[in-house]
């Protein structure tokens, strides 16, 4: 009998695990229709299930989401697919910024027939349609193309293929631009873009690769066809194939690479790169830096004496860490044939316009006014001689020392005396202010809370209305027969000194005549109970796990982190509230001992 019972238990556990695995698949939808909504971490799938479109959680913050399209693999978490799988993400049409959705955000087709992503009353993104027709359904094709269709599904009002981000899929044509991301983990666009010519910015002189189709007729299109071939078509119909297959992406280093996704997906599987263009021969380094051909990406480095303009992004270019030579006029580019390397060095050192000298082929010398588009590689035959200041003194240090030398000694003595007098005066004023402040604070609590009058709170809450959508919550207290004013003051002071990420913070209070009120920070996410049992959205398991750890952290702080241990009287889902980012916080209005003496209304 015990063996039979164990066998039944094992079978039951197996069935429950299989059902749990099928829940996300059962929750997947094929489209979004008018009147319907899509909330994080929801998504819709293509008919074959190869692609998904919906909300992808951030890598660094699972409470924030991007509206995106991604490849689906059997081993992936659909709410957080691997970063390489994402092939499209929503961007604002004006600033090009990716909107950040929260657990309260909703993608819907309201009565006006427009596809809209909103967070409460704030609109985050809207599909940029030009047609006057009303949309009725959103579908995801097996090609990865998201289409917003009109009533009856006859006309396409908007599609993601018409607004590419950094990726081209099979069957997609590029008539606009691809913009690379700032970095792999970011969605902010850089100045690198791809169209018929590849640019660093919008200036023609910054072109670092071109198809050679700059003709008066123009009208050239880049196409990634269904067979996985990337090509460009001329105005006369001639087709030139670049590389193949499966999807092409404009990377942060300015190179377009094609990828073949792994068969089963997963974080530990690698994506095959069958081709790139340009073939890493044209350099995309910004001024003041040079690029090095690494195994997977181009790396931008600064020469000695230069620093990155943006330390967080090495592709931002470099700037001299020293004060450059000053001279009037414009920059020049001059070439000297048949010279030695030492002569080339001397030419550059004696020229105030020269930022670097290039030894070409071992005999020709070229002076340049700025570093740009440098590259390091085994096939490079040109040597760059970069001019830096002797001793490598920074620009700031030299400027300050030069300024000090210009100030006469008597003036320096007068300035020093005035500075000392100013410091003494300021110190005296600060001390006087602190003394005055301490006298005033004796009338209030020693905690960080502020005492309001009843009239101030009455006006701020419009007569104590139940809901005003303000960023505070006001709790009114009614005294019982065991009222003790001193106990009220002591307990408010205790709560005002409690500060923790997972505890609702008390901001202010009122103690005037018979009126007793507490002011807490507003929790727009509602209670934990209403969020967990909401039939329209299922919280992701990662969020559940973090919430399960956050609540005990708040209790641990109450028990061990306060000056005097505090015991919560009523821990339950109704007394755990969520802020606007979905962070759970224990309702601290239940902490006070005076709630035994007062009734909360």
Q: Tens digits of per-residue pLDDT, 144-181?
A: 999 999 987 788 999 998 888 888 888 777 766 777 76
* CATH number for the domain formed by residue range(s) 27-160: 2.90.10.10
- The closest of 242, 210, 208 to 224, measured between CA atoms, is 242
486-491 long-range contacts, CB within 8 A, separation 24+: 487/593, 487/594, 487/597, 488/516, 488/594, 488/597, 488/598, 489/445, 491/592, 491/593, 491/594
**Contact 58/65 with Cβ under 8 angstroms?**
yes
Q: What is the pTM of this model?
A: 0.45
Q: Write out pLDDT tens, residues 370-390.
A: 776 677 767 677 888 888 877
Mean pLDDT over residues 488-505, rounded?
78
Q: Provide the token pair at 237.
A: 């119909």
- SS3 category, 291: strand
Q: How confident is the model at residue 117 (pLDDT cuts 50, 70, 90)?
A: very high
- Give pLDDT, residue 115: 92
d(CA 89, CA 66): 7
- What proportions of the chain, in percent to the nearest 5, are helix, strand and coil? 25, 30, 45
Name the DSSP class of 15: H
Above 70 in pLDDT, residue 500? yes
Q: How many CB atoms lie within 10 A of CB 481?
A: 5
Please determine whether the domains at 27-160 and 168-282 fall in the same fold group of CATH. yes
Third-level CATH fold of 168-282: Agglutinin, subunit A (2.90.10)
> What is the residue whose two structure tokens read 């913070």?
505
Question: Above pLDDT 90, what percent of the chain?
Answer: 9
Q: Write out pLDDT tens, residues 461-476.
A: 666 655 544 566 766 6
State which H helix or E strand residue 52 sits in.
Answer: strand 51-57
Above 50 in pLDDT, residue 21? no
**Range of weakest confidence among 191-200, 313-322, 365-374, 508-517:** 191-200
Sheet holding 43-45, edge to edge: 43-45, 51-57, 65-71, 86-89
CATH (one of 3.30.450, 1.10.1740, 3.50.4, 1.10.30) for 319-390: 3.50.4
Find the distance separating the first CA and the last CA of the chain, reported in whole Å.
58
- Give pLDDT, residue 364: 85
**Contact 130/162 with Cβ under 8 angstroms?**
no
By DSSP bridging, strand 374-376 and strand 290-293 are parallel
- Give pLDDT, residue 595: 42
d(CA 271, CA 44): 24
d(CA 324, CA 301): 20
- SS3 category, 174: strand
- Give pLDDT, residue 496: 75
Architecture of the domain whose range is 450-600: Orthogonal Bundle (1.10)
- Give pLDDT, residue 334: 62
Mean pLDDT over residues 255-271, rounded?
66
Cα within 13 Å of Cα(219), Cβ side? 6
d(CA 75, CA 57): 17
Q: How confident is the model at residue 221 (pLDDT cuts 50, 70, 90)?
A: low
Domain residue extents for the chain: 27-160, 168-282, 319-390, 407-441, 450-600
**Range of weakest confidence among 14-23, 315-324, 336-345:** 14-23
**Contact 213/196 with Cβ under 8 angstroms?**
yes
d(CA 96, CA 396): 35
- Give pLDDT, residue 166: 82
Q: Provide the token pair at 270.
A: 């690698």
**Range of weakest confidence among 209-218, 317-326, 547-556:** 209-218
**Contact 269/74 with Cβ under 8 angstroms?**
no
d(CA 284, CA 372): 9
Q: How confident is the model at residue 596 (pLDDT cuts 50, 70, 90)?
A: very low
DSSP string, 352-366: TT-SEEEEETTTEEE
Please give the mean pLDDT across all residues of the chain. Answer: 72
Above 70 in pLDDT, residue 121? yes
- SS3 category, 399: helix
Mean pLDDT over residues 563-584, rounded?
83
- Give pLDDT, residue 80: 63
């Amino acid at each position: 009998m015990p063996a039979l019972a164990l066998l039944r238990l094992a079978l039951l556990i197996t069935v429950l695990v299989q059902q749990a695995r099928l829940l996300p698949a059962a929750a997947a939808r094929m489209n979004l229709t008018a009147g319907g909504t899509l909330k994080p971490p929801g998504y819709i799938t293509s008919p074959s299930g190869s692609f998904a479109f919906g909300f992808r959680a951030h890598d660094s913050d699972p409470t924030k989401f991007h509206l995106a399209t991604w490849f689906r693999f059997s081993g992936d978490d659909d709410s957080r697919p691997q970063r390489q799988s994402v092939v499209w993400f929503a961007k604002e049409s004006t600033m090009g910024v990716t909107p950040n959705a929260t657990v309260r955000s909703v993608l819907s087709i309201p009565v006006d027939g427009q596809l809209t992503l909103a967070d409460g009353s704030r609109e985050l993104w809207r599909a940029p349609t030009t047609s006057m027709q009303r949309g009725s359904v959103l579908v995801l094709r097996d090609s990865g193309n998201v289409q917003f269709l009109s009533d009856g599904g006859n006309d396409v009002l908007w599609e993601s293929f018409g607004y590419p981000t950094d990726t081209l899929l099979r069957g997609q044509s590029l008539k606009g631009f691809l913009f690379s991301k700032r970095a792999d983990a970011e969605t902010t666009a850089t100045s690198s873009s791809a169209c018929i010519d590849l640019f660093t910015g919008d200036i023609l002189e910054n072109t670092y690769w071109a198809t050679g189709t700059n003709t008066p007729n123009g009208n050239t299109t880049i196409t990634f066809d269904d067979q996985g071939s990337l090509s460009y078509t001329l105005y006369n119909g001639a087709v030139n194939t670049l590389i193949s297959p499966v999807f092409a992406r404009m990377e942060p280093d300015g190179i377009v690479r094609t990828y073949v996704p792994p068969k089963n997906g997963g974080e530990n599987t690698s994506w095959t790169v069958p081709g790139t263009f340009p073939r890493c021969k044209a350099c995309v380094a910004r001024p003041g830096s040079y690029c090095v051909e690494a195994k997977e990406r181009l790396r931008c480095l600064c020469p000695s004496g230069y620093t990155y303009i943006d330390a967080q992004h090495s592709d931002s270019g470099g700037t001299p860490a020293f004060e450059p030579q000053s001279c009037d006029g414009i920059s020049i580019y001059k070439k000297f044939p048949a010279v030695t390397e030492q002569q080339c060095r001397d030419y550059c050192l004696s020229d105030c316009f020269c930022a670097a000298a290039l030894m070409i082929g071992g005999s020709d010398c070229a002076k340049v006014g700025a570093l740009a588009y440098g590259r390091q590689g085994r096939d490079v035959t040109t040597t760059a001689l970069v001019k830096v200041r002797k001793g490598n003194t920074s620009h700031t240090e030299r400027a300050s020392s030069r300024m000090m030398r210009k100030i006469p000694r008597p003036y320096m003595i007068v300035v020093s005396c005035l500075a000392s007098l100013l410091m003494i005066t300021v110190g005296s004023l600060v001390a006087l202010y602190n003394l005055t402040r301490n006298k005033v604070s004796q009338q209030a609590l020693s905690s960080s809370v502020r005492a309001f009058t009843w009239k101030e709170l009455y006006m701020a809450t419009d007569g104590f209305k139940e809901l005003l959508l303000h960023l505070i919550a006001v709790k009114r207290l009614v005294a019982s027969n065991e009222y003790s004013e001193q106990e009220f003051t002591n307990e408010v002071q205790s709560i005002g000194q409690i500060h923790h990420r997972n505890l609702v913070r008390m901001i202010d209070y009122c103690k005037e005549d018979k009126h007793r009120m507490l002011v807490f920070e507003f929790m727009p996410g509602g209670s934990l109970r209403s969020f967990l049992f909401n039939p329209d959205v299922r919280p992701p398991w990662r969020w559940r796990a973090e919430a399960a750890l956050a609540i005990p952290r708040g209790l641990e702080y109450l028990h061990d982190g306060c000056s005097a241990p505090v015991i919560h009287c009523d821990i339950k889902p109704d007394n755990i509230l969520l802020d606007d980012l979905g962070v759970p916080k224990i309702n601290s209005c239940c902490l006070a001992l005076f709630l035994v003496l007062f009734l909360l209304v």
